[in-house]
Amino acid sequence: MARAAKPRAAESSKSPARLEVRTAKAEDVPAILALISRAYPGFGNYSAGQILGQINNFLEGQFVAVLEGTIVGYCASSRIDEAIALAPHDWTTITGNGFGSRHDATGDWLYGTEMAVDDRQRGLRIGKRLYDARRALAERLELRGIVFGGRMPNYAKAKRKVGSPEEYLAQVQEGKLRDPVIGFQLANGFRPIGVLPAYLPFDKPSDGYAAHMMWRNPYVDPNEPVSFRVPRGVESVRLATVQLQARAVKDFAEFVRQVEYFVDVAADYRADFIVFPELFTMSLLSFETDKLTPMGAIDRMTEHRAPIVAELSRMALRYNINIVGGSHPTRTADGSVQNVAYVCLRDGSVHAQEKIHPTPNEAYWWKIKGGSSVDVIQTDIGPIGVLICYDSEFPELARRLVDEGARIIFVPFCTDNRQGYMRVRYCAQARAIENQCFVVLSGNVGNLPGVDNMDVQYAQSCILTPCDFPFARDGIAAEASENIETLTIADVNLADLTWARAEGTVRNLADRRFDLYRVDWNRGLRSGEASLEAPTTGSKNPGGG
């Protein structure tokens, strides 16, 4: 008997979602910046580093709304302790200058840092969807609720009629006055608990004021004391630092073989990162037949940039390891020369970090120019930073990287005597303590006759930690013996940093006095500067909070 034909499975009629709300990713940063420019014309925008900081410091709290592949909404949040969240404050202070660096992993309130919605998509209730995502996060984390400063963009126009911002807020609540932002927040279950003066000084439509808005989590008893602890988990990273012998080589290929030897060994030890010293490529001048002036030597070195980067990238892919390629002289588009670190990741991407502060010696002999930006590099292990030698002696650079989320800072260095080395070493240890991060040093040893300014080298490469209970007693995870060529390897636990920043004996990051000082890297950013121009009309977006 013939069998009946098996019925075909019905083809799925489900189409891909047109609109989704998800956590933000580092690659979303350009689209988020473009969105904020559209949502708040006339306001200064964030820097890319500030948005990266928000994402890196608290990934769970940053949401984007994506409509058919385009980001049309963004909201940013941090966890904040109740004593700070409910006290008077301004936006710059509570957001850590816009980086989200006041995030406290033990905080019992979710604080709304930013809300931006594309005005062209108002009918899709994107603001409500983002608020719902934030509310769901607060419930899942069992936080007391959500707090933020809400803009009052109609207050300046109504000021003469109503008087104080408190009276304006009361009349908006009573329905006597209309405010598009506060009205939106009231409709979403938030209630004002006061007014925050000088919250955003450049917000002229709000006259600088903001409504101190709150939503209480109904699943948490407000009278029940809560205590959050950071789990002592394990996020192990294996770091390798090369203390490289400066030596003469007969050609480019021999130099590459020496570098690859250390990459191979570090990969055999399953290291996640390997770092080489500053200007470790200067051995390439040893096979030059012509007598070169210092400037001629640097010009010749710039010709090796492309093949060096290509070889480092090849090794990173082949050996499945992230390589911090020391530094190499690089010719820029304007014809000047910079000292640049090339970071070749095991996914094939290549990143560059220029030295910001050339030493007097570099500037005099080689006419090295300083760079103009320092930013984190996103890796499969998380965000990292690079400070080349002298840059480690300027604390604001490391603080910038940590504000953007870096937990490991690599310091390739090149020093010719113990005094120079100790300047770098002491400053790097200070950076590890004050920023509660790991700092990895890699230096050259030996001598390189015939190469100007590279005659002798002194180094003791090391892996440094903060000084607190989870870390090594002396703040040194590992260090090389002085002035010998070697590879130094250590495992570090990134989770220890999270714990120390929230519950350590001292909490340098959390205890900063944002109300007294900050470092402004660029004018025109979201940093509370009074000189910024605000829109002349109230925003139609559910801005603020």
**Which amino acids are annotated catalytic?**
278, 355, 389
Which residues neighbour 195 within 8 Å (Cβ) at sequence distance 6 or greater? 165, 166, 169, 209, 210, 211, 212
- Which candidate, 153, 161, 139, places its Cα nearest to that of 185? 153
CB 471, CB 496: distance < 8 Å: yes
- Which candidate, 530, 528, 525, 543, places its Cα nearest to that of 47? 525
C-alpha to C-alpha distance for 28 and 407, rounded to whole angstroms? 21
Which residues neighbour 432 within 8 Å (Cβ) at sequence distance 6 or greater? 409, 438, 439, 464, 465, 466, 475
CB 86, CB 140: distance < 8 Å: no
Residues constituting the chain? 545
- Which candidate, 463, 522, 80, places its Cα nearest to that of 271? 463
C-alpha to C-alpha distance for 179 and 93, rounded to whole angstroms? 26
| Alpha helical stretches, state H, 240-359 | 252-268, 294-302, 305-319
Counts of helices then strands in the chain (DSSP H, E):
15, 20
194 forms bridges with which residues in the sheet? 212
Compute the half-sphere exposure of residue 93: CA atoms within 13 Å on the CB side of its CA.
Answer: 18
The position carrying tokens 């930073």 is 385
Q: At what angle do helices 48-57 and 29-39 cross, to 10 degrees?
A: 120
A 10 A CB-CB count for 187 gives: 12
Q: Residue 96 has which token pair?
A: 């850590």
- Which candidate, 427, 438, 428, 435, places its Cα nearest to that of 501? 435
A 10 A CB-CB count for 537 gives: 12
Which element (helix H / strand E) includes 77? strand 70-80
C-alpha to C-alpha distance for 200 and 528, rounded to whole angstroms? 6
